[in-house]
Amino acid sequence: MPRSPIHTDAAPAAIGPYSQATRAGQMVFLSGQIPLDPATGALVEGDIGAQARRAFDNLKAVCAAAGGSMDDIVRVGLYLTDLSQFAAVNAVMGEYFAQPYPARSTIEVSALPKGAAFEVDAIMVL
pLDDT band at residue 56, thresholds of 50, 70 and 90? Answer: very high
pLDDT confidence of residue 15 = 83
Cα distances (angstroms) measured from residue 65 to each of 42, 58, 84, 125: 21, 11, 33, 14
pLDDT confidence of residue 1 = 82
Superfamily name with CATH number, domain 4-125: RutC-like (3.30.1330.40)
Alpha-carbon distance 35 to 118, whole Å? 7
pLDDT confidence of residue 35 = 98
Q: Is the pLDDT of residue 33 over 90?
A: yes
Average pLDDT, the chain: 97
SS3 content of the chain, % helix, strand, coil (to 5): 30, 30, 40
Listed by start position, the domains of the chain span: 4-125
